[in-house]
Amino acid sequence: MLLPIKIWGDPILKKKAQAVDRLTPADKKLIQDMFETMDAADGAGLAAPQVGVSKRIFVFRIGEERHALINPKITLRSGEVEGEEGCLSIPGVQGRVKRAKRVIVSGRDQFNKQVSFELEDGEDMGRAATCVQHEIDHLDGLMYLERAEPKSISWLIEAVDDKGEDDIILRRVSRDDILAAYKARKLPPDVHILDMLRERVERKSGK
Ligand code: NI
């Protein structure tokens, strides 16, 4: 089942999520639905608060594989990497964030088994280390734009290149202007954003 994604400005995204004591059938169903929703929205990861559940659960990809982590803890961080990030809860926007290049993260999986991943951004794993840090921030009520280099924050704008092909260009914007646009529920009309998410942003009733 596809779950509606909460958009920036929703108070649940600012809350610290609760640890999961015992994995219930409802939690397992939630994880399946989060996998489905992440795929449908073409996301690299998705945290439970983004679908309205304030629990320490997230899903993510390593290449083609999908994984879930419950009560995740990063036990080692090393190196540094800086890259563009985006978020399904702030669609149409990107910004540069500094993260640890390599992390070891452990927790339980959707079968309640203790698991641990050693992740490093690079050719083999894509940006799995960055992704896990971004998702754990969601569990702590933190959005990546709060960590992003202010001058790097941009709208993703649909454009046409000189060969007449569809293109995406960046339009610099301040974090405050993005928040104002979200609060007013009015994004620039040429922002590149999935229709399913634009509907959620621009719906007047909000929730
Ligand atoms: Ni996100």
Question: Ligand 1 center to residue 46 CA distance, Å?
Answer: 6
Question: Ligand 1 center to residue 60 CA distance, Å?
Answer: 11
pLDDT tens profile 98-112: 999 999 999 999 999
Question: Which of 135, 149, 158, 165 is flagged as catalytic?
Answer: 135
> What's the pLDDT score for residue 66?
96
Confidence check: pLDDT of 141 > 70: yes
Fold for 11-202, please state it: Peptide Deformylase (3.90.45)
Confidence check: pLDDT of 205 > 70: no
Please state, for a pLDDT cut of 90, what percent of the chain lies above it.
87
User: How many Cα atoms sit within 13 Å of 41 on the Cβ side?
Assistant: 31
Q: Specify the pTM.
A: 0.94
Confidence check: pLDDT of 29 > 70: yes
Report how far residue 95's alpha carbon sits from residue 145's, in angstroms, rounded to the nearest whole number. 7
> What's the pLDDT score for residue 45?
97
Confidence check: pLDDT of 79 > 90: yes
